């Protein structure tokens, strides 16, 4: 992950604090992930369930995917709870596909 906002106390579940009013771009580094998969980038998709919503999927550039996340309109959420969103990477080899889930802890900051 790129940026100081990410907590990596459990590397399998990286998370960041998220203000309920936020609608910002989250830069997500994927070069190490692609290297683990032994492929290069072809495409990606972002999935999220309420209360999170992916506002913009972002365009891969120089190892980073800038994803714009926000809460859905009139969200129902529990303050302090971590909510997941998933990035699916498709490798340039046309076969490789892998998902990683990140978590946003929704609370006033």
Asked if residue 105 belongs to a domain, the reply is no
How many folded domains does the chain comprise? 1
pLDDT tens digits, 51-109: 999 999 999 999 999 999 999 998 899 999 999 999 999 999 999 999 999 999 998 87
Query: b or e along 60-84 (b: 16 or more beta carbons within 10 Å of the residue's beta carbon)?
Result: beebebbbbbbbeeeeebeeeebbe
How much is the pTM?
A: 0.90
Give the model's pLDDT for residue 61: 96
Asked if residue 52 belongs to a domain, the reply is yes
Asked if residue 99 belongs to a domain, the reply is no
Task: Please state the rounded mean pLDDT for residues 27-46.
Answer: 95
Domain hosting 13: range is: 1-73+82-93
Task: Please state the rounded mean pLDDT for residues 18-40.
Answer: 92
Per-residue tokens: 70:
């926000």
Asked if residue 98 belongs to a domain, the reply is no
Contact indicator for 102, 67 with CB cutoff of 8 Å: no
Asked if residue 30 belongs to a domain, the reply is yes
Give the model's pLDDT for residue 1: 67
d(CA 73, CA 7): 27
Asked if residue 107 belongs to a domain, the reply is no
């Amino acid at each position: 992950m790129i940026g100081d906002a990410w907590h990596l106390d459990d590397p399998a579940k990286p998370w960041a604090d998220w203000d309920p009013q936020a609608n910002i771009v989250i830069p997500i580094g994927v070069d190490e992930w692609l290297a683990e998969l032994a492929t290069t980038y072809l495409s990606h998709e972002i999935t999220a369930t309420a209360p999170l919503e992916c506002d913009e999927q972002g365009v891969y550039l120089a190892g980073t995917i800038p994803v714009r996340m926000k809460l859905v309109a009139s969200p129902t959420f529990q303050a302090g709870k971590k909510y997941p969103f998933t990035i699916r990477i498709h490798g340039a080899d046309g076969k490789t596909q892998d998902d990683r889930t990140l978590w946003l802890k929704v609370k006033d900051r």
